[in-house]
Structure 1
């Protein structure tokens, strides 16, 4: 009976772990941990569920040696049936009270920063996001990778 109970609990845990809310996440690594302004990673994904609400995040991974507490980005979005739209966004990575705001292991920190004010409805179809760093420093040193994450908002 104990073995049966253990097996049932294990199966439930495995099934619960498979119930993910992720729709898309991809990052692009930067050579020699330097992000140049002409290196503009592009991320493509498809939305099928138009009933759901979505959160969109920028994902940034950097070393502790990164010189700034923020990151300015030019984010270009191409949604189905519309022209591309660009916007400048400031991504806050640290503050004086807490230090780095992301999660860290050793001297590497990863940030998932939501760029939508609230969960948004997305049209069915293909989306394209392009990221460009627009900091004064070029290349921007100690940045390992950047990317996009899209997830269904939990009700």
Structure 2
């Protein structure tokens, strides 16, 4: 059993290290813990993604990851997503992340009383400048702090080659 625990820990560390690599690996993913599982207005997670020159030839699908407890009191989360392209000022977009359907059933995958969601916020995004892109998430709900949110993260996946601003799968 002790050997199995060590293997699981080492595998987890390797996956965590790989998840923070530049996009040349086809996927970027990083998740951050929400302090005390209560997301306050003051906590604004930042994700920095390095795009290599060869990666500008692709389009990307961008997702927000959310992990919450079953006791989360709402069916969605509103976010302010601040995106800063290399050498430019941030652009802000208000985004709704649906977490439950009309009947209140959670949309994500669940284990025990914890649910995980991978919610698309932009399909076929163009990251046409090499450099560091900065994504900042700010919870934008009426309640502060927002209870029972455990983690939030960013996932970016290559979706195909870019030709005339369209993707080729």
Task: Return the structure number with greater helix share.
Answer: 2
**Aligned mates of 1:146, 1:22 — CA distance in 2:** 21
Q: Which runs of 4+ in 1 moved over 4 A?
A: none
Q: Of the two, which has the highest radius of gyration?
A: 1
Alignment partner, residue 110 of structure 1: 116
Q: Greater RCO between the two (CA within 8 Å, min separation 6)?
A: 1
Equivalent position to 2:50, from 39, 46, 53: 46
CA pair 108-22 structure 1, distance change in 2 beyond 3 A: farther
CA pair 21-67 structure 1, distance change in 2 beyond 3 A: farther
Q: Do structure 1's residue 36 and structure 2's residue 43 form an aligned pair?
A: no
Kept in 2: contact 1:28–1:147 (CA 8 A): yes
- Return 5+ residue gaps in structure 2 as ranges: 1-23, 161-168
- Return 5+ residue gaps in structure 1 as ranges: 1-19
Computed over aligned residues only, the root mean square deviation of the Cα atoms, in angstroms, reads 1.7
Q: Do structure 1's residue 150 and structure 2's residue 156 form an aligned pair?
A: yes
Alignment partner, residue 122 of structure 1: 127
Deviation by residue 1:101-141 (Cα, 9 ceiling, x = unmatched) = 1111111111111111x312212221000001011111100
**Aligned mates of 1:103, 1:95 — CA distance in 2:** 13
The number of equivalent residue pairs is 135
**Aligned mates of 1:132, 1:147 — CA distance in 2:** 12
The offset of 1:81, in angstroms, is 2.9
Kept in 1: contact 2:75–2:104 (CA 8 A): no
TM (normalized to structure 1)? 0.82
Kept in 2: contact 1:21–1:152 (CA 8 A): no
